Structure 1
Amino acid sequence: MRRQGLTLLETLIALAVLGIAFGALLMSQLSNLRVSAQSRYATDAKAAAIRVLEQKSSEVLRSEILQPPSVYIDDPSTNRSFYFVDYFYGCPSRVNPAFPLRDGSQNNLRQVRCSGQEQEGNSSVEWLIFGESGTLGEGVVTIVVTATHDRGPKITMGRRVTCYDVYPSPTQDKPAPCPPPGGGRP
């Protein structure tokens, strides 16, 4: 006699195979969701790091025109003062600027913050600014930011700002905010 349909055992085996297939598909989708979330958190941390890096870069690149006599005037021909000088000679520790900048005295440097921490959305951003001598004593200020998202991803990025970025001049060998040759940070 010929049977019609499936037995109970065959039905249970078919359901088990389908369950395993759907379980694998579900695990794959959950894994994709986790990866997408981590990627989004990393993107948020990177955006926070970029915001702080741009803000600190603009502070280093800032300049203003002052009325004489001011100890902060770095370019007497234009009465312009460059905050780059304050960061270069003031961070991470204060040193005497190369004469004639600020009369060669660290007392003539503005008080600037060389490090700190800020909260940007769900990310905590630590930043550090420090001057370094560069190749031949020209001024280089390095800005490093590290953003850590509350959910784990961590991004570190940096930027170097030179005195030529502050005062680009194709006609001068030594623009105003740049230390004289050999006059970089000791």
Structure 2
Amino acid sequence: MIDPTALRDKPTLSGERVRLVPLTEEHAEALFEATRNDEIRRLTGTHRRWSREEVRQWCRERARQPDRVDLAIVDRPGNRFVGELSLMEVDAANESAAYRISLSGIEFTGQGLGKEATRLMLRYAFERIRLHRVWLEVFAFNMRAIATYRACGFTVEGRLRDALLWEGRRHDALLMAALEHDFRTADG
């Protein structure tokens, strides 16, 4: 049975190179800039252009959401905003939730920051919230993200054909999930 207080109480999770902190309005400007990055928009399949005020409002509301966890990723020791992640669409009856992560710029990829952040969040999901399954969708062209998810214990469960239309081309999305046992095996 999941622990709903673990969804209401927004944690701070610390690793060697990143800290996950509650997403708040202080992160709004950096998050807004990330939404303007064309490569990040492509990797996340984000067609919508968010206004600065919409991003500010989104960040302001995250701490009050009792059914999800939204955290900012900040690097250590610099304390720079490098992205954000969420556990959402929590299905308490099936002990399952969706996961998403987005780094705020290509300069933060390839350094292991996303992998460390994902592992921190999965540990929280399985140990504190007591989920059994965490799932995500990733576009099939995002090979770096797929490799990171595999390293964290995610397995491909299916393919959503032509899920994204981007600049006139259609792309598949992969459905991946990590079960508690998969994560513990991958986390060593």
TM range, smaller chain:
under 0.3
Q: TM-score, normalised by structure 2?
A: 0.23
Higher strand share: 2
Structure 1 length-normalised TM: 0.23
Q: Which has the larger radius of gyration?
A: 1
